[in-house]
């Protein structure tokens, strides 16, 4: 019974750390991917986003379309948390390393990949030419 409890605890902690980390980095990642002006929470979050600028020719795809933003960020965050919490016998080799760190790193990797893929799709669908959208033209 003790082993099941510790495995569940590792999964829960990994999922929670991944969720908190993705919640902090999603907005600066938006700024990096779309070059829209979004930044770290302590540096203004979305205050500089081109979505809020009157007369802006281009507006951040995640902010301009609620369904696109929710789908992109939601799928990236959910898939990252599920990845971090998923059990894998391959992680047994990392017992000497902190398993929470390994699981969290895996989850964050999935977060970045899914966010970039869905951001590219959002930029393409909305003809957004800045950031990742410029590479897709």
Q: What is the pLDDT of residue 121?
A: 94
Total structural domains in the chain?
Answer: 1
In a domain, residue 128? The reply is yes
First to last CA, the chain: 56
pTM of the model: 0.86
Q: Return d(Cα 8, Cα 97) in angstroms, integer.
A: 18
Residue 109 CB coordination number (10 Å): 13
In a domain, residue 137? The reply is no
Q: What is the pLDDT of residue 9?
A: 84
Instruction: List pLDDT tens digits, range 46-75.
Output: 999 999 999 999 999 999 999 999 999 999
In a domain, residue 65? The reply is yes
Domain with 60, as residue range(s), is 2-132
The pLDDT-based confidence of 77 (bands split at 50, 70, 90) is very high
∠ at Cα 120 (106, 69), nearest 5°? 80
Q: What is the pLDDT of residue 10?
A: 84
In a domain, residue 30? The reply is yes
More confident residue, 52 or 5: 52
Two structure tokens written together for 91: 């992680």
In a domain, residue 117? The reply is yes
Mention every residue, 6+ apart, whose C-beta is less than 8 A from residue 86.
none
In a domain, residue 74? The reply is yes
């Amino acid at each position: 019974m003790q082993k099941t409890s510790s495995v569940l605890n590792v999964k829960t902690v990994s999922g929670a750390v991944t969720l908190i980390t993705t919640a902090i980095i999603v907005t600066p990642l938006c700024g990096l991917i779309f070059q829209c002006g979004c930044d770290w929470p302590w540096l203004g979050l979305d205050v500089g986003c081109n979505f809020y600028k009157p007369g802006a020719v281009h507006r951040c795809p995640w902010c301009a379309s609620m369904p696109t933003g929710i789908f992109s960020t939601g799928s990236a965050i959910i898939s990252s948390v599920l990845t971090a919490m998923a059990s894998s016998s391959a992680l047994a080799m990392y017992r000497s390393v902190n398993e929470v760190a390994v699981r969290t790193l895996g989850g964050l990797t999935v977060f970045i990949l899914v966010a970039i893929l869905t951001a590219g799709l959002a930029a393409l669908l909305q003809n957004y030419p800045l950031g990742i959208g410029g590479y897709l033209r």
